[in-house]
């Protein structure tokens, strides 16, 4: 795969969508965006379970959908994600609508190995930080994510602006994106968007991604395949806005 380490204004460039060999770069190789920070070591999963006298890894997932209750298409997307995740053997916690409060998400997130979020993301601009909008006008910010001390291994953010940061827009502030915060907190890979997302169109992308992924291997190839398929089926969709961010 191709690893891009953009700096400052270049973080706003969609390198994976640049023309290459008669198509786009992503068509040739999976593309990931790095933060150039130390890669997290293989940390233990959230817990273990015992079966017939043996000890097995217990993998946990947190799926959050439509916390503001105004994005109806995110429910079907989360359903597809949850179905695939459970088929992989994950113990899954689902928080929809009014149940997705900051307290509930904050309680479950440190124990999750996989976090899927279908809802609103926000980045307010100069000297701000990215946030995920939750129920009851609550939110979880990039700063809060950093303070948790533990991030899920994999994070999938189907929401607006979760990969957007102050520096990506060319400013000099210290605004941090939600995706960057998860990576800095220890995530191995985060899927996010650097712009607005059409929730009706995006649900097909993530349903296809979970169909292609196996819940344990690298995200780059299955996401490349899903993104290219979504691009072909939705010519007017801003497929370029989605990217994988890694340490």
pLDDT in tens, 106-119: 999 999 999 999 99
72 touches 126 (CB < 8 A): no
- The length of the chain is 247
For residue range 84-95, list pLDDT tens digits in order. Answer: 999 999 999 999
161 touches 120 (CB < 8 A): no
Nearest alpha carbon to residue 1 among 175, 235, 238, 224: 224
Sign of CA dihedral 87, 92, 98, 102: negative
- 3-state SS, 164-229, equals CCCHHHCCCCCCCCHHHHHHHCCCCEEEEECCCCCHHHHHHHHHHHHHHCCCCCCCHHHHHHHHHH
Is residue 109 within a helix (H) or strand (E), and if so which, with residue range?
Answer: none
Could you give the C-alpha distances from 230 to 64, 189, 204, 209, 223, in angstroms and in order?
23, 20, 7, 10, 10
Nearest alpha carbon to residue 149 among 99, 192, 184: 184
Alpha carbons 147 and 125: distance in angstroms, whole number? 21
Q: How far out from the chain centre does Cα 174 lie?
A: 21
* DSSP characters over 58-99: E-EEEEEE-TTS--THHHHHHHHHHHHHHHTT-EEEEEEGGG
* One pLDDT digit (tens) per residue for the chain, 247 residues: 999 999 888 888 999 999 999 999 999 999 999 987 777 664 444 454 444 454 456 899 999 999 999 999 999 999 999 999 999 999 999 999 999 999 999 999 999 999 999 999 998 765 678 999 999 999 999 999 998 878 999 999 999 999 988 654 444 445 789 999 999 999 999 999 999 988 777 879 999 999 999 999 999 999 999 999 999 998 888 999 999 999 9
Q: What is the CA radius of gyration of the chain?
A: 17
Dihedral angle of Cα 138, 73, 231, 224, to the nearest 10 degrees: 60
115 touches 155 (CB < 8 A): yes
């Amino acid at each position: 795969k191709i690893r891009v380490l953009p700096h400052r204004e270049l973080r706003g460039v969609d390198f994976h969508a640049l023309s290459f060999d008669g198509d786009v770069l992503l068509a040739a190789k999976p593309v990931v965006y790095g933060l150039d920070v130390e890669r997290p070591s293989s940390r233990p999963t959230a817990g273990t379970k015992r079966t017939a006298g043996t000890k097995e890894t217990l993998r946990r997932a947190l799926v959050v959908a439509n916390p503001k209750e105004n994005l109806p298409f995110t429910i079907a997307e989360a359903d597809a994600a949850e179905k695939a995740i459970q088929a992989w053997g994950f113990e899954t916690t689902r928080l929809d609508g009014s149940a997705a409060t900051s307290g509930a998400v904050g309680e479950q997130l440190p124990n999750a190995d996989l976090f899927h979020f279908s809802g609103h993301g926000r980045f307010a601009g100069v000297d701000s930080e990215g946030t995920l909008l939750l129920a009851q006008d609550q939110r979880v910010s990039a700063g809060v994510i950093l303070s948790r001390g533990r991030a899920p291994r994999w994070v999938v953010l189907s929401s607006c602006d979760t990969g957007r940061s102050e520096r990506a827009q060319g400013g000099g502030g210290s605004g941090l994106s939600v995706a960057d915060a998860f990576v800095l907190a220890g995530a191995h890979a985060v899927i996010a968007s650097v712009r607005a997302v059409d929730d009706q169109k995006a649900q097909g992308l993530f349903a296809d991604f979970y169909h292609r992924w196996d819940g344990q291997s690298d995200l780059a190839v299955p996401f490349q395949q899903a993104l290219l398929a979504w691009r072909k089926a939705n010519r007017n969709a801003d497929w370029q806005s989605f990217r994988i961010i890694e340490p």
